[in-house]
């Protein structure tokens, strides 16, 4: 669990520095696409700066607010189907947003964990 503002951050899962392109869509009832032509305009791009099996920090041009819900997708460098998740913006900073995963398929969690072990093996 992450504590913000106390000067001491405590996370349930260790973060690993890794840059991965991400696409996401805000889960805003007012922004539902009216047609398939509208969908690409709602899909935004970002990039991770760090990641864990519990969440990630992303840099994006799309303004996000604390509490926003997003559906995200990223291709892991190890291949296979895209990693998909629903996440909540847990905090905002001047350079991006901290996302906390709310719903992720168990096999995607395992794939992400396996990939992160190759980036920064645990001792």
> What confidence tens digit (pLDDT) does each residue in 35-78 have?
555 555 578 999 999 999 999 999 998 788 999 999 999 999 88
CATH of 16-119, one of 3.40.50.300, 2.40.10.220, 3.20.20.70, 3.10.50.40: 2.40.10.220
> What confidence tens digit (pLDDT) does each residue in 16-37 have?
899 999 999 988 745 555 555 5
> What confidence tens digit (pLDDT) does each residue in 90-117 have?
999 888 999 999 999 999 999 999 999 9
Q: Which residue has the tokens 């997003």?
A: 70
Burial class for 9, CB neighbours closer than 10 Å (0-12, 13-18, 19+): exposed
Domain ranges of the chain: 16-119
Measured CA distances, 12 to 3, 99, 111, 121 (Å): 10, 13, 18, 17
């Amino acid at each position: 669990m992450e504590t913000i503002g106390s000067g001491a951050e405590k996370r349930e899962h260790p973060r690993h520095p890794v840059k991965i392109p991400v696409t996401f869509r805000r889960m805003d009832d007012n922004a539902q696409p009216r047609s398939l032509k509208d969908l690409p305009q709602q899909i935004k791009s970002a990039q991770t700066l760090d990641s864990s099996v519990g969440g990630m920090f992303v840099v994006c041009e799309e303004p996000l607010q604390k509490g926003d819900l997003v559906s995200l997708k990223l291709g892991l460098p190890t291949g296979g189907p895209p990693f998909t998740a629903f996440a909540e913006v847990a905090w905002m900073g001047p350079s991006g947003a901290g996302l906390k995963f709310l719903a992720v398929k168990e096999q995607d969690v395992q794939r992400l964990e396996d990939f992160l072990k190759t980036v920064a093996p645990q001792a």
